[in-house]
A and B are shown apart, each in its own frame.
Chain A
Amino acid sequence: MKLNLNPAPHVHSRQDTRWLMGNVLIALLPCCVAGVVYFGVPALMLMAVSMASAVLFEALWQKLCGRKLLIADGSAAVTGLILALNLPPRAPWWLAVMGSAFAVVIVKGLFGGLGDNFINPAMAARALLLASWPKFMTAWTAPSGLDAVTSATPLMTPAAWTPLELFLGRIPGCIGETCKLAILAGLAWLLITRTIKWHIPVAMMASLCLFSWIFGKDPVAAALSGGALFGAAFMATDYVTCPVHPAAQMIYAAGAGLVAAVIRSYAGYPEGVTYGILLMNAAAPLLDKCFRRRVYGHGREAAK
Protein backbone atom coordinates (compact mmCIF):
# COMPACT_ATOMS: atom_id res chain seq x y z
CA MET A 1 0.00 0.00 0.00
CA LYS A 2 1.42 3.29 -1.07
CA LEU A 3 0.68 6.23 1.13
CA ASN A 4 0.00 9.67 -0.10
CA LEU A 5 2.16 11.54 2.33
CA ASN A 6 2.88 15.20 1.89
CA PRO A 7 6.44 16.26 1.21
CA ALA A 8 7.31 17.10 4.79
CA PRO A 9 11.08 16.96 5.07
CA HIS A 10 11.02 14.06 7.48
CA VAL A 11 9.09 11.42 5.65
CA HIS A 12 11.01 9.04 3.51
CA SER A 13 9.51 8.87 0.11
CA ARG A 14 10.68 5.47 -1.05
CA GLN A 15 10.04 3.41 2.02
CA ASP A 16 6.41 2.87 2.47
CA THR A 17 4.93 3.48 5.87
CA ARG A 18 3.54 0.01 6.24
CA TRP A 19 6.93 -1.65 5.77
CA LEU A 20 8.43 0.74 8.27
CA MET A 21 5.78 0.28 10.92
CA GLY A 22 5.85 -3.49 10.41
CA ASN A 23 9.55 -3.47 11.13
CA VAL A 24 9.07 -1.41 14.27
CA LEU A 25 6.33 -3.75 15.46
CA ILE A 26 8.62 -6.76 14.93
CA ALA A 27 11.38 -4.97 16.81
CA LEU A 28 9.02 -4.26 19.71
CA LEU A 29 7.99 -7.92 19.94
CA PRO A 30 10.79 -9.05 22.31
CA CYS A 31 9.91 -6.21 24.69
CA CYS A 32 6.26 -7.21 24.63
CA VAL A 33 7.15 -10.82 25.37
CA ALA A 34 9.47 -9.82 28.21
CA GLY A 35 6.79 -7.50 29.60
CA VAL A 36 4.17 -10.24 29.62
CA VAL A 37 6.57 -12.79 31.10
CA TYR A 38 7.59 -10.47 33.92
CA PHE A 39 4.35 -8.61 34.57
CA GLY A 40 1.67 -11.07 33.51
CA VAL A 41 -1.70 -10.80 31.80
CA PRO A 42 -2.49 -7.22 32.94
CA ALA A 43 0.45 -5.99 30.88
CA LEU A 44 -0.93 -7.81 27.84
CA MET A 45 -4.34 -6.25 28.42
CA LEU A 46 -2.83 -2.77 28.61
CA MET A 47 -1.04 -3.28 25.30
CA ALA A 48 -4.25 -4.48 23.65
CA VAL A 49 -6.36 -1.62 25.04
CA SER A 50 -3.76 0.97 24.13
CA MET A 51 -3.28 -0.25 20.55
CA ALA A 52 -6.99 -0.68 19.95
CA SER A 53 -7.88 2.75 21.27
CA ALA A 54 -5.07 4.43 19.33
CA VAL A 55 -6.31 2.85 16.09
CA LEU A 56 -9.90 3.74 16.93
CA PHE A 57 -9.11 7.39 17.68
CA GLU A 58 -7.02 7.62 14.52
CA ALA A 59 -9.96 6.31 12.49
CA LEU A 60 -12.41 8.66 14.18
CA TRP A 61 -10.14 11.64 13.67
CA GLN A 62 -9.56 10.86 10.00
CA LYS A 63 -13.31 10.49 9.51
CA LEU A 64 -13.97 13.78 11.28
CA CYS A 65 -11.47 15.55 9.04
CA GLY A 66 -12.99 13.93 5.96
CA ARG A 67 -9.75 12.25 5.03
CA LYS A 68 -9.02 8.83 3.65
CA LEU A 69 -8.83 6.16 6.35
CA LEU A 70 -5.18 5.23 6.70
CA ILE A 71 -5.20 3.15 9.86
CA ALA A 72 -3.89 0.14 7.94
CA ASP A 73 -0.50 1.85 7.72
CA GLY A 74 0.07 0.71 11.29
CA SER A 75 1.38 3.98 12.62
CA ALA A 76 -1.40 4.41 15.18
CA ALA A 77 -0.88 0.83 16.34
CA VAL A 78 2.82 1.50 16.85
CA THR A 79 2.05 4.67 18.82
CA GLY A 80 -0.41 2.78 21.01
CA LEU A 81 1.99 -0.08 21.62
CA ILE A 82 4.93 2.18 22.47
CA LEU A 83 2.70 4.11 24.86
CA ALA A 84 1.61 0.89 26.59
CA LEU A 85 5.22 -0.23 26.94
CA ASN A 86 5.84 3.09 28.72
CA LEU A 87 3.15 2.49 31.33
CA PRO A 88 3.50 0.86 34.72
CA PRO A 89 2.22 -2.74 34.52
CA ARG A 90 -0.76 -2.15 36.79
CA ALA A 91 -1.88 1.16 35.28
CA PRO A 92 -5.68 1.36 34.95
CA TRP A 93 -7.02 0.72 31.42
CA TRP A 94 -8.46 4.22 31.04
CA LEU A 95 -4.98 5.67 31.44
CA ALA A 96 -3.99 3.92 28.22
CA VAL A 97 -7.15 5.19 26.50
CA MET A 98 -6.56 8.80 27.56
CA GLY A 99 -2.93 8.61 26.55
CA SER A 100 -3.76 7.17 23.14
CA ALA A 101 -6.41 9.81 22.51
CA PHE A 102 -3.99 12.60 23.40
CA ALA A 103 -1.18 11.10 21.32
CA VAL A 104 -3.23 10.45 18.21
CA VAL A 105 -5.63 13.39 18.17
CA ILE A 106 -3.83 16.30 19.82
CA VAL A 107 -0.14 15.62 19.30
CA LYS A 108 -0.52 14.19 15.80
CA GLY A 109 -3.98 14.88 14.39
CA LEU A 110 -4.19 18.62 15.06
CA PHE A 111 -0.92 19.08 13.21
CA GLY A 112 -2.14 17.21 10.16
CA GLY A 113 -1.47 13.55 10.85
CA LEU A 114 1.45 11.19 10.34
CA GLY A 115 4.60 13.06 9.40
CA ASP A 116 3.32 16.47 10.51
CA ASN A 117 3.70 16.22 14.29
CA PHE A 118 6.84 17.83 15.66
CA ILE A 119 6.87 15.96 18.96
CA ASN A 120 6.79 12.19 19.49
CA PRO A 121 3.15 11.30 20.25
CA ALA A 122 3.80 8.42 22.67
CA MET A 123 6.38 10.45 24.61
CA ALA A 124 4.10 13.47 24.88
CA ALA A 125 1.28 11.21 26.02
CA ARG A 126 3.50 9.75 28.72
CA ALA A 127 4.37 13.26 29.92
CA LEU A 128 0.67 14.17 29.95
CA LEU A 129 -0.22 11.09 32.00
CA LEU A 130 2.66 11.67 34.42
CA ALA A 131 1.61 15.30 34.96
CA SER A 132 -2.08 14.52 35.28
CA TRP A 133 -2.26 11.26 37.19
CA PRO A 134 1.08 10.88 38.96
CA LYS A 135 -0.19 8.38 41.49
CA PHE A 136 -1.10 5.88 38.77
CA MET A 137 2.03 6.55 36.74
CA THR A 138 4.38 5.90 39.64
CA ALA A 139 2.68 2.85 41.16
CA TRP A 140 5.43 0.36 40.47
CA THR A 141 5.01 -3.34 41.04
CA ALA A 142 7.64 -5.96 41.54
CA PRO A 143 7.66 -8.34 38.57
CA SER A 144 7.47 -11.53 40.62
CA GLY A 145 3.88 -11.92 41.69
CA LEU A 146 0.58 -11.00 40.13
CA ASP A 147 -0.51 -8.97 43.13
CA ALA A 148 0.35 -5.31 43.06
CA VAL A 149 3.13 -4.78 45.55
CA THR A 150 4.34 -1.22 45.53
CA SER A 151 8.08 -0.98 45.26
CA ALA A 152 10.84 1.41 44.32
CA THR A 153 12.41 1.42 40.87
CA PRO A 154 16.16 1.09 40.37
CA LEU A 155 16.27 4.84 39.67
CA MET A 156 15.26 5.50 43.26
CA THR A 157 17.39 2.82 44.89
CA PRO A 158 20.24 2.13 42.47
CA ALA A 159 22.26 -0.08 44.78
CA ALA A 160 19.55 -2.70 45.27
CA TRP A 161 20.11 -4.43 41.93
CA THR A 162 23.12 -5.94 40.21
CA PRO A 163 23.90 -4.97 36.61
CA LEU A 164 22.82 -8.45 35.49
CA GLU A 165 19.42 -8.08 37.10
CA LEU A 166 19.06 -4.65 35.49
CA PHE A 167 20.06 -6.14 32.15
CA LEU A 168 17.63 -9.06 32.24
CA GLY A 169 14.90 -6.81 33.56
CA ARG A 170 13.38 -8.68 36.47
CA ILE A 171 12.94 -5.31 38.17
CA PRO A 172 10.12 -2.85 38.78
CA GLY A 173 9.52 -0.42 35.96
CA CYS A 174 7.41 0.28 32.89
CA ILE A 175 6.24 -2.75 30.93
CA GLY A 176 8.64 -2.50 28.02
CA GLU A 177 11.63 -0.74 29.48
CA THR A 178 12.94 -3.21 32.06
CA CYS A 179 14.41 -5.98 29.91
CA LYS A 180 17.49 -4.52 28.23
CA LEU A 181 18.19 -7.84 26.47
CA ALA A 182 14.86 -7.63 24.66
CA ILE A 183 15.41 -3.98 23.77
CA LEU A 184 18.84 -4.78 22.34
CA ALA A 185 17.33 -7.59 20.28
CA GLY A 186 14.77 -5.15 18.88
CA LEU A 187 17.42 -2.53 18.26
CA ALA A 188 19.52 -5.09 16.41
CA TRP A 189 16.56 -5.87 14.16
CA LEU A 190 16.04 -2.19 13.39
CA LEU A 191 19.72 -1.78 12.56
CA ILE A 192 20.00 -4.96 10.46
CA THR A 193 16.94 -4.07 8.41
CA ARG A 194 18.32 -0.55 8.08
CA THR A 195 15.13 0.86 9.52
CA ILE A 196 17.26 3.19 11.60
CA LYS A 197 20.92 4.05 11.74
CA TRP A 198 23.21 3.80 14.74
CA HIS A 199 23.85 7.51 15.34
CA ILE A 200 20.96 8.40 17.61
CA PRO A 201 20.90 5.43 20.00
CA VAL A 202 24.69 5.40 20.37
CA ALA A 203 25.06 9.16 20.86
CA MET A 204 22.19 9.30 23.32
CA MET A 205 23.45 6.43 25.48
CA ALA A 206 27.03 7.72 25.38
CA SER A 207 25.95 11.19 26.43
CA LEU A 208 23.72 9.85 29.19
CA CYS A 209 26.54 7.68 30.59
CA LEU A 210 29.11 10.46 30.34
CA PHE A 211 26.99 13.07 32.09
CA SER A 212 25.72 10.62 34.71
CA TRP A 213 29.35 9.85 35.48
CA ILE A 214 30.20 13.56 35.67
CA PHE A 215 27.27 14.07 38.05
CA GLY A 216 28.73 11.38 40.31
CA LYS A 217 26.64 8.35 39.38
CA ASP A 218 27.51 4.89 38.17
CA PRO A 219 27.37 5.14 34.36
CA VAL A 220 26.55 1.43 33.86
CA ALA A 221 23.63 1.57 36.25
CA ALA A 222 22.49 4.82 34.64
CA ALA A 223 22.42 3.18 31.23
CA LEU A 224 20.62 0.08 32.45
CA SER A 225 17.98 1.70 34.64
CA GLY A 226 14.78 3.48 33.78
CA GLY A 227 13.70 4.06 30.21
CA ALA A 228 17.03 5.18 28.80
CA LEU A 229 17.71 2.30 26.42
CA PHE A 230 14.08 1.94 25.38
CA GLY A 231 13.87 5.66 24.66
CA ALA A 232 17.14 5.70 22.75
CA ALA A 233 16.15 2.70 20.62
CA PHE A 234 12.49 3.31 19.87
CA MET A 235 11.49 6.89 20.65
CA ALA A 236 14.43 9.17 19.97
CA THR A 237 14.78 7.44 16.58
CA ASP A 238 11.27 8.37 15.38
CA TYR A 239 11.77 9.55 11.77
CA VAL A 240 9.15 12.21 12.02
CA THR A 241 10.47 14.02 15.07
CA CYS A 242 14.25 13.64 14.81
CA PRO A 243 16.54 15.73 12.60
CA VAL A 244 17.57 14.45 9.16
CA HIS A 245 21.29 15.11 8.92
CA PRO A 246 23.55 12.65 10.82
CA ALA A 247 25.50 15.43 12.54
CA ALA A 248 22.29 17.13 13.61
CA GLN A 249 21.09 13.73 14.82
CA MET A 250 24.17 13.31 16.98
CA ILE A 251 23.69 16.72 18.61
CA TYR A 252 20.01 15.99 19.08
CA ALA A 253 20.69 12.64 20.73
CA ALA A 254 23.52 13.96 22.88
CA GLY A 255 21.24 16.76 24.04
CA ALA A 256 18.53 14.28 24.96
CA GLY A 257 21.05 12.26 27.00
CA LEU A 258 22.32 15.38 28.75
CA VAL A 259 18.83 16.62 29.68
CA ALA A 260 17.88 13.15 30.90
CA ALA A 261 20.99 12.98 33.11
CA VAL A 262 20.40 16.47 34.49
CA ILE A 263 16.77 15.76 35.35
CA ARG A 264 17.62 12.40 36.93
CA SER A 265 20.31 13.99 39.09
CA TYR A 266 18.88 17.37 40.02
CA ALA A 267 15.19 17.82 39.19
CA GLY A 268 11.98 16.71 40.84
CA TYR A 269 11.07 13.82 38.56
CA PRO A 270 13.04 10.59 38.97
CA GLU A 271 13.17 9.86 35.23
CA GLY A 272 14.21 12.41 32.64
CA VAL A 273 14.43 10.43 29.40
CA THR A 274 10.90 11.47 28.36
CA TYR A 275 11.66 15.15 28.78
CA GLY A 276 15.07 14.91 27.17
CA ILE A 277 13.54 13.47 24.02
CA LEU A 278 10.60 15.90 24.02
CA LEU A 279 12.83 18.94 24.39
CA MET A 280 15.14 17.84 21.62
CA ASN A 281 12.11 17.06 19.43
CA ALA A 282 11.20 20.71 19.86
CA ALA A 283 14.73 21.76 18.96
CA ALA A 284 15.00 19.38 15.99
CA PRO A 285 13.71 21.88 13.38
CA LEU A 286 16.42 24.33 14.48
CA LEU A 287 19.14 21.68 14.36
CA ASP A 288 18.02 20.67 10.88
CA LYS A 289 18.13 24.29 9.83
CA CYS A 290 21.79 24.51 10.85
CA PHE A 291 22.69 21.67 8.51
CA ARG A 292 20.05 21.91 5.80
CA ARG A 293 22.04 23.77 3.20
CA ARG A 294 24.64 21.07 2.99
CA VAL A 295 22.31 18.08 2.92
CA TYR A 296 19.54 19.39 0.75
CA GLY A 297 18.60 16.54 -1.55
CA HIS A 298 20.98 14.08 0.09
CA GLY A 299 19.36 13.33 3.42
CA ARG A 300 16.77 10.99 2.08
CA GLU A 301 19.19 8.99 -0.02
CA ALA A 302 21.56 8.64 2.87
CA ALA A 303 18.86 7.37 5.18
CA LYS A 304 17.86 4.63 2.79
Chain B
Amino acid sequence: MSFMKLTASALAVAAVSATAATARDNLQIAGSSTVLPYASIVAEAFGENFEFPTPVVESGGSSAGLKRFCEGVGENTIDIANASRAIKSSEVETCAANGVTDIIQVRIGYDGIVFASQLDGPAFTAFEPADLYNALAPKVVVDGELVDNPYTMWSEFNADLPEAEILAFIPGTKHGTREVFEEKVLAAGCEATGALEAMVASGMSEDDAEDACISVRTDGKSVDIDGDYTETLASIESNPNAIGVFGLAFYENNTDKLKVATMSGVEPKTETIASGEYPVSRPLYFYIKKAHIGVIPGLKEYASFFVSDEIAGPSGPLSNYGLVADPELADTQAMIETEETM
Protein backbone atom coordinates (compact mmCIF):
# COMPACT_ATOMS: atom_id res chain seq x y z
CA MET B 1 0.00 0.00 0.00
CA SER B 2 1.38 3.39 -0.95
CA PHE B 3 -0.27 4.85 2.15
CA MET B 4 1.74 2.53 4.31
CA LYS B 5 4.91 3.71 2.62
CA LEU B 6 3.92 7.32 3.10
CA THR B 7 3.20 6.77 6.76
CA ALA B 8 6.44 4.90 7.23
CA SER B 9 8.46 7.66 5.61
CA ALA B 10 6.70 10.27 7.68
CA LEU B 11 7.54 8.40 10.84
CA ALA B 12 11.12 8.09 9.64
CA VAL B 13 11.31 11.85 9.22
CA ALA B 14 10.09 12.33 12.76
CA ALA B 15 12.58 9.78 14.06
CA VAL B 16 15.51 11.39 12.25
CA SER B 17 14.59 14.71 13.76
CA ALA B 18 14.74 13.40 17.28
CA THR B 19 18.33 12.26 16.83
CA ALA B 20 19.56 15.11 14.65
CA ALA B 21 18.17 17.71 17.02
CA THR B 22 21.29 17.44 19.13
CA ALA B 23 23.74 18.68 16.47
CA ARG B 24 23.65 22.44 16.11
CA ASP B 25 26.28 24.55 14.44
CA ASN B 26 24.55 27.92 14.20
CA LEU B 27 24.13 30.50 16.94
CA GLN B 28 20.60 31.09 18.18
CA ILE B 29 19.73 34.52 19.46
CA ALA B 30 16.39 35.86 20.63
CA GLY B 31 14.96 38.84 22.45
CA SER B 32 14.33 42.54 22.17
CA SER B 33 12.91 43.86 18.92
CA THR B 34 14.87 47.09 19.55
CA VAL B 35 18.14 45.19 19.46
CA LEU B 36 17.03 42.99 16.52
CA PRO B 37 18.10 45.44 13.77
CA TYR B 38 21.57 45.78 15.26
CA ALA B 39 21.90 42.06 15.90
CA SER B 40 20.80 41.29 12.34
CA ILE B 41 23.39 43.69 10.92
CA VAL B 42 26.11 42.05 13.00
CA ALA B 43 24.88 38.51 12.22
CA GLU B 44 24.96 39.24 8.51
CA ALA B 45 28.49 40.68 8.61
CA PHE B 46 29.56 37.78 10.85
CA GLY B 47 28.30 35.24 8.31
CA GLU B 48 30.18 37.09 5.56
CA ASN B 49 33.49 37.35 7.34
CA PHE B 50 33.72 34.07 9.23
CA GLU B 51 33.47 30.43 8.27
CA PHE B 52 30.49 30.00 10.61
CA PRO B 53 26.89 30.02 9.35
CA THR B 54 24.95 33.23 9.79
CA PRO B 55 23.43 33.30 13.30
CA VAL B 56 19.65 33.23 13.66
CA VAL B 57 18.10 36.24 15.39
CA GLU B 58 14.50 36.02 16.57
CA SER B 59 12.48 38.89 17.94
CA GLY B 60 9.76 38.76 20.57
CA GLY B 61 10.73 41.24 23.26
CA SER B 62 13.33 41.50 26.01
CA SER B 63 11.30 39.63 28.61
CA ALA B 64 10.40 36.76 26.29
CA GLY B 65 14.01 36.47 25.19
CA LEU B 66 15.38 36.40 28.73
CA LYS B 67 12.74 33.86 29.71
CA ARG B 68 13.94 31.52 26.98
CA PHE B 69 17.53 32.29 27.88
CA CYS B 70 16.86 31.13 31.43
CA GLU B 71 15.21 27.86 30.40
CA GLY B 72 18.46 25.99 30.86
CA VAL B 73 21.77 25.01 29.36
CA GLY B 74 22.06 22.83 26.28
CA GLU B 75 21.85 22.84 22.54
CA ASN B 76 18.09 23.17 22.65
CA THR B 77 18.25 26.51 24.40
CA ILE B 78 19.30 29.85 22.94
CA ASP B 79 22.89 31.07 23.31
CA ILE B 80 22.32 34.80 23.50
CA ALA B 81 19.43 36.95 24.71
CA ASN B 82 19.12 40.51 23.41
CA ALA B 83 17.60 42.99 25.83
CA SER B 84 16.75 46.66 25.79
CA ARG B 85 17.05 46.74 29.59
CA ALA B 86 19.33 45.19 32.16
CA ILE B 87 18.47 41.70 33.39
CA LYS B 88 16.37 41.76 36.59
CA SER B 89 17.47 40.00 39.75
CA SER B 90 14.35 37.84 39.60
CA GLU B 91 15.41 36.70 36.14
CA VAL B 92 18.91 35.95 37.36
CA GLU B 93 17.35 33.77 40.06
CA THR B 94 15.17 31.91 37.54
CA CYS B 95 18.27 31.38 35.43
CA ALA B 96 20.22 30.02 38.38
CA ALA B 97 17.38 27.69 39.31
CA ASN B 98 17.54 26.22 35.81
CA GLY B 99 21.31 25.84 35.83
CA VAL B 100 22.19 28.98 33.90
CA THR B 101 24.68 30.38 36.37
CA ASP B 102 27.49 32.00 34.40
CA ILE B 103 26.08 34.89 32.40
CA ILE B 104 28.17 37.45 30.57
CA GLN B 105 26.51 40.84 30.28
CA VAL B 106 27.52 42.86 27.22
CA ARG B 107 26.48 46.47 26.80
CA ILE B 108 26.53 47.31 23.10
CA GLY B 109 25.63 51.00 23.18
CA TYR B 110 22.76 53.36 23.79
CA ASP B 111 19.43 53.89 22.12
CA GLY B 112 17.74 57.27 22.01
CA ILE B 113 13.99 57.59 22.43
CA VAL B 114 12.48 60.45 20.49
CA PHE B 115 9.15 62.23 20.24
CA ALA B 116 8.05 62.79 16.68
CA SER B 117 4.98 63.97 14.82
CA GLN B 118 3.75 64.29 11.26
CA LEU B 119 6.04 66.37 9.08
CA ASP B 120 3.23 68.75 8.07
CA GLY B 121 1.39 68.63 11.41
CA PRO B 122 1.37 71.25 14.19
CA ALA B 123 4.76 72.60 15.26
CA PHE B 124 5.68 70.14 17.99
CA THR B 125 9.33 71.10 17.98
CA ALA B 126 10.29 71.49 21.62
CA PHE B 127 9.14 69.58 24.68
CA GLU B 128 10.05 69.56 28.32
CA PRO B 129 9.31 66.51 30.47
CA ALA B 130 6.84 68.77 32.32
CA ASP B 131 4.85 69.31 29.08
CA LEU B 132 4.44 65.60 28.50
CA TYR B 133 3.52 65.07 32.13
CA ASN B 134 0.88 67.79 31.98
CA ALA B 135 -0.49 66.35 28.76
CA LEU B 136 -0.57 62.70 29.74
CA ALA B 137 -0.82 62.34 33.52
CA PRO B 138 -4.16 61.54 35.16
CA LYS B 139 -3.59 64.15 37.89
CA VAL B 140 -1.81 67.46 37.42
CA VAL B 141 -1.12 70.57 39.48
CA VAL B 142 -3.26 73.58 38.54
CA ASP B 143 -2.82 76.76 40.61
CA GLY B 144 -1.11 74.79 43.35
CA GLU B 145 -3.92 72.25 43.61
CA LEU B 146 -3.73 68.60 42.54
CA VAL B 147 -6.70 68.01 40.22
CA ASP B 148 -7.87 65.54 37.58
CA ASN B 149 -6.18 66.44 34.31
CA PRO B 150 -8.40 69.14 32.75
CA TYR B 151 -6.26 69.80 29.66
CA THR B 152 -7.42 68.96 26.15
CA MET B 153 -5.06 71.24 24.21
CA TRP B 154 -1.28 71.53 24.42
CA SER B 155 -1.49 75.34 24.48
CA GLU B 156 -3.56 75.29 27.67
CA PHE B 157 -0.57 74.63 29.89
CA ASN B 158 2.27 75.95 27.74
CA ALA B 159 1.57 78.88 25.42
CA ASP B 160 4.64 77.99 23.35
CA LEU B 161 3.09 74.72 22.26
CA PRO B 162 0.65 74.63 19.33
CA GLU B 163 -3.07 74.89 19.80
CA ALA B 164 -3.77 71.25 19.03
CA GLU B 165 -5.72 68.43 20.64
CA ILE B 166 -3.63 66.26 22.93
CA LEU B 167 -3.09 62.82 21.43
CA ALA B 168 -0.04 60.69 22.09
CA PHE B 169 0.87 57.19 20.94
CA ILE B 170 3.15 55.68 23.55
CA PRO B 171 4.69 52.20 23.74
CA GLY B 172 2.57 49.60 25.53
CA THR B 173 3.60 48.18 28.88
CA LYS B 174 5.24 45.07 27.42
CA HIS B 175 7.88 47.21 25.70
CA GLY B 176 11.19 48.03 27.35
CA THR B 177 10.79 51.50 25.83
CA ARG B 178 7.81 52.18 28.09
CA GLU B 179 9.97 51.87 31.18
CA VAL B 180 12.38 54.50 29.88
CA PHE B 181 9.51 56.78 28.93
CA GLU B 182 8.05 56.49 32.43
CA GLU B 183 11.36 56.99 34.19
CA LYS B 184 12.98 59.70 32.13
CA VAL B 185 9.94 61.65 31.01
CA LEU B 186 6.87 61.15 33.19
CA ALA B 187 8.69 60.87 36.53
CA ALA B 188 10.92 63.81 35.63
CA GLY B 189 7.88 65.84 34.57
CA CYS B 190 6.07 64.87 37.76
CA GLU B 191 8.84 66.32 39.81
CA ALA B 192 9.27 69.40 37.64
CA THR B 193 5.59 70.36 37.77
CA GLY B 194 5.48 69.89 41.54
CA ALA B 195 2.93 67.10 41.29
CA LEU B 196 5.18 64.72 43.24
CA GLU B 197 5.44 67.20 46.07
CA ALA B 198 1.71 67.83 46.04
CA MET B 199 1.00 64.10 46.17
CA VAL B 200 3.31 63.56 49.12
CA ALA B 201 1.79 66.60 50.81
CA SER B 202 -1.67 65.11 50.34
CA GLY B 203 -0.64 62.17 52.51
CA MET B 204 0.56 59.61 49.96
CA SER B 205 3.64 57.59 50.79
CA GLU B 206 6.68 58.35 48.65
CA ASP B 207 6.50 55.00 46.82
CA ASP B 208 2.82 55.38 46.04
CA ALA B 209 3.42 58.89 44.79
CA GLU B 210 6.21 57.69 42.52
CA ASP B 211 3.94 54.99 41.13
CA ALA B 212 1.16 57.53 40.61
CA CYS B 213 3.63 59.77 38.78
CA ILE B 214 4.25 57.26 36.01
CA SER B 215 0.64 56.36 35.29
CA VAL B 216 -1.05 57.83 32.23
CA ARG B 217 -4.54 59.24 31.73
CA THR B 218 -7.14 56.77 30.54
CA ASP B 219 -9.56 59.08 28.70
CA GLY B 220 -8.21 58.17 25.27
CA LYS B 221 -5.72 61.02 24.89
CA SER B 222 -2.86 58.65 25.54
CA VAL B 223 -2.92 55.49 23.43
CA ASP B 224 -0.78 52.44 24.16
CA ILE B 225 0.77 50.84 21.09
CA ASP B 226 1.58 47.19 21.70
CA GLY B 227 2.93 46.56 18.22
CA ASP B 228 6.07 47.88 16.60
CA TYR B 229 7.10 51.37 15.63
CA THR B 230 5.56 50.77 12.19
CA GLU B 231 2.19 50.68 13.95
CA THR B 232 2.94 53.95 15.75
CA LEU B 233 3.97 55.46 12.41
CA ALA B 234 0.70 54.36 10.80
CA SER B 235 -1.27 55.92 13.68
CA ILE B 236 0.68 59.17 13.36
CA GLU B 237 0.07 59.27 9.62
CA SER B 238 -3.66 59.10 10.13
CA ASN B 239 -3.71 61.64 13.01
CA PRO B 240 -2.02 64.92 12.05
CA ASN B 241 -2.22 66.26 15.61
CA ALA B 242 -0.68 63.27 17.33
CA ILE B 243 2.80 62.78 18.68
CA GLY B 244 4.44 59.38 18.92
CA VAL B 245 7.34 57.74 20.71
CA PHE B 246 10.01 56.18 18.46
CA GLY B 247 13.51 54.82 18.63
CA LEU B 248 16.14 57.12 17.14
CA ALA B 249 17.06 54.60 14.44
CA PHE B 250 13.45 54.24 13.34
CA TYR B 251 13.03 58.00 13.15
CA GLU B 252 16.22 58.39 11.13
CA ASN B 253 14.93 55.91 8.57
CA ASN B 254 11.66 57.80 8.21
CA THR B 255 12.69 61.45 8.16
CA ASP B 256 10.57 61.94 5.04
CA LYS B 257 7.40 61.46 7.10
CA LEU B 258 8.31 62.53 10.63
CA LYS B 259 9.75 65.54 12.38
CA VAL B 260 11.36 65.23 15.75
CA ALA B 261 10.97 67.41 18.83
CA THR B 262 13.78 68.52 21.11
CA MET B 263 13.68 67.48 24.75
CA SER B 264 14.73 70.10 27.28
CA GLY B 265 16.16 72.03 24.34
CA VAL B 266 18.42 69.24 23.08
CA GLU B 267 17.97 67.71 19.65
CA PRO B 268 18.17 63.91 19.65
CA LYS B 269 21.24 62.87 17.67
CA THR B 270 23.81 60.18 18.22
CA GLU B 271 26.24 62.86 19.43
CA THR B 272 23.91 64.44 21.98
CA ILE B 273 22.86 61.04 23.30
CA ALA B 274 26.45 59.85 23.60
CA SER B 275 27.37 62.96 25.56
CA GLY B 276 24.35 62.49 27.83
CA GLU B 277 22.84 65.89 26.95
CA TYR B 278 19.71 64.35 25.47
CA PRO B 279 17.99 62.90 28.51
CA VAL B 280 15.80 60.10 27.15
CA SER B 281 18.11 57.22 26.34
CA ARG B 282 18.87 53.75 27.60
CA PRO B 283 21.61 51.17 27.33
CA LEU B 284 21.13 48.08 25.13
CA TYR B 285 22.52 44.71 26.13
CA PHE B 286 22.98 41.16 25.15
CA TYR B 287 23.57 38.25 27.51
CA ILE B 288 25.76 35.24 26.75
CA LYS B 289 25.57 31.81 28.32
CA LYS B 290 29.15 31.10 29.30
CA ALA B 291 28.50 27.36 29.37
CA HIS B 292 27.87 27.48 25.62
CA ILE B 293 31.24 29.04 24.78
CA GLY B 294 33.34 26.31 23.22
CA VAL B 295 30.28 24.10 22.70
CA ILE B 296 28.38 26.09 20.11
CA PRO B 297 30.90 27.09 17.45
CA GLY B 298 31.40 30.81 16.88
CA LEU B 299 29.76 32.11 20.07
CA LYS B 300 32.76 33.96 21.47
CA GLU B 301 33.83 35.10 18.01
CA TYR B 302 30.36 36.59 17.45
CA ALA B 303 30.45 38.44 20.77
CA SER B 304 33.90 39.92 20.16
CA PHE B 305 32.95 40.77 16.59
CA PHE B 306 29.81 42.55 17.82
CA VAL B 307 31.69 44.88 20.16
CA SER B 308 34.74 45.36 17.94
CA ASP B 309 35.53 48.96 16.99
CA GLU B 310 34.78 48.23 13.32
CA ILE B 311 31.21 47.25 14.17
CA ALA B 312 30.06 48.98 17.34
CA GLY B 313 32.50 51.88 17.22
CA PRO B 314 31.40 55.45 16.46
CA SER B 315 31.86 55.08 12.68
CA GLY B 316 30.75 51.46 12.34
CA PRO B 317 27.60 50.16 10.66
CA LEU B 318 25.64 50.04 13.93
CA SER B 319 26.30 53.69 14.58
CA ASN B 320 25.28 54.49 11.00
CA TYR B 321 22.01 52.75 11.63
CA GLY B 322 21.27 54.74 14.78
CA LEU B 323 22.98 53.06 17.72
CA VAL B 324 24.81 55.44 20.03
CA ALA B 325 28.28 54.02 20.51
CA ASP B 326 29.35 53.17 24.04
CA PRO B 327 32.31 55.31 25.14
CA GLU B 328 33.49 52.42 27.32
CA LEU B 329 33.61 49.92 24.48
CA ALA B 330 37.22 48.95 25.25
CA ASP B 331 36.20 47.68 28.71
CA THR B 332 33.46 45.57 27.16
CA GLN B 333 35.92 44.11 24.67
CA ALA B 334 38.30 43.19 27.48
CA MET B 335 35.41 41.68 29.43
CA ILE B 336 34.50 39.35 26.57
CA GLU B 337 38.14 38.42 26.09
CA THR B 338 38.38 37.26 29.71
CA GLU B 339 34.81 35.86 29.70
CA GLU B 340 34.00 37.82 32.84
CA THR B 341 30.59 36.86 34.20
CA MET B 342 28.10 38.98 36.11
Bound together:
no
Binding site for A on B (CB under 8 A): none
Binding site for B on A (CB under 8 A): none
